[in-house]
Amino acid sequence: MRLRTLTALAGALTLSLVTGCAAGEGTGASANTVTYWLWDANQLPAYQACAKGFEKENPGLKVKITQLGWSDYWTKLTAGFIAGTQPDVFTDHIQKFGQFADLKVLESLDDLGIKESAYQPGLAANWIGQDGHRYGTPKDWDTVALFYNQKMAKAAGLTAERLNSLSWNPEDGGTFEKAIAHLTVDKNGRRGDEPGFDRHNVKVYGLAGNGGGYGDGQTQWSMFTASAGWNYTDKARWGTKYQYDSKTFQSVITWYFGLAKKGYLAPLSDYNIQSNQANTQVASGKAAAAFDGAWMISTYHGFKGRDIRTALTPVGPTGRRATMMNGLADSITKGARNKEGARKWVAYLASDKCQRVVGTYGVVFPATPAGTKAATAAYEKQGIDVTAFTEPVADKKDFLTFSYPITNYAADVTALMTPRMEDIYGNGAPVSSLDQTNSQINRILSQ
């Protein structure tokens, strides 16, 4: 098992080194220190405040927090598992969880007494491994909504009420496509739905591009595939077969990336993971709207000279709106040097005490209802309406919330799906090519 773990982790590290950097130095741990890693710089002040509260309640214990950028974070964490330089505790992502749990590099947290009812629905259950043990404590959550430039929407005659009542279908795009087309403007000032529109010379795209979506399409196409009735795998959690060969999925992908061919969706060539993501396209005025996650609320609100509002995801063929509801967690590494201190810290992170504090910073929605309430109040104090993100969680009748696909070999799925989706988006490759990719993925899962 040890050999298999190291081999698999080495493979994952090789993949991550393509975009990341080499492993860092040791964790700098000591007997009275708990080392903790996170990737979001915006959340660092909130967790530094939690650390002060924790240290006050636990005299003699210190928390050393390290913040790393997204790519560096996973590269160094994976390298740390191999070299023994991993932190005691780290912020875990559901996309990575399946592989880490399978490789047995996480510590069981069963003894912390985490109750699902203490958190927003579904968040606690996602961190139970196939062996029935818990490996993560709920930290925060996010949903996806449509950010839009209020000035551009007003110029197009699109009110907030109209943007919140859009619907779509994979045949003609429904009122959603009509709205996006009308928000699109070419170099001559013609809108996307007007005669003479030049799709080859677009000044403002109705919808920003945010890449091909890897294998999950969180802020790209997931709200459409889910509201069309499609699921990533054959089971809600720990599926054994992916379903990218589904006719429903492929019809949605054909329509969605077809928006780029029509000139309404910014092309893949305009997307850069480091500098030109959907949010920067909106900030620069190159796009009128973008689907993005709740973790980006403060970013969009901070654009100078831009009045950015949010709208709900559109109603799909199933009659419901859909949004991915992703939830992060805190996990303890199997090789933690201070496991006793780590357990105390993780329990504190998952408590209302810490989550209320995090909520008051108005950066993310903490996992507990009290933390969520504190965050909503903090956003309101800043003059930010977050209804488009919170309503899907409260209204289960009209909204479908769903999780990242939780399976083994997540890194392999991403490695296979990323170039395939980009080929479809950027080069016009046939959507039917997903059949072969899906077969490759399922062969890996069957090992």
**pLDDT digits over 195-232, tens only?**
999 999 999 999 999 999 999 999 999 999 999 999 99
Confidence at residue 26, expressed as pLDDT on a 0 to 100 scale: 43
The pLDDT assigned to 434 comes to 98
- pLDDT value of position 255: 98
Q: Which CATH class is domain 144-324+409-445?
A: alpha beta
Give the pTM: 0.90
- The architecture CATH gives domain 2-141+327-385: 3-Layer(aba) Sandwich (3.40)
With a cut of 50, list the residues of the chain below it in pLDDT: 1-8, 10, 13-28
pLDDT score, position 4: 38
Residues spanned by CATH 3.40.190.10 within the chain?
2-141+327-385, 144-324+409-445
d(CA 97, CA 408): 9
How many degrees, rounded to 5, is the angle at CA 218 between CA 213 and CA 221?
65
pLDDT of residue 9: 53
Cβ–Cβ under 8 Å, residues 424 and 386: no
- The per-residue pLDDT for 275 is 65
Q: What is the pLDDT of residues 392-401, one digit of tens each?
A: 999 889 999 9
Q: Is 53 left (phi over 0), alpha (psi -120 to 50) or beta?
A: alpha
* CA gap 320, 77 in Å, rounded: 39
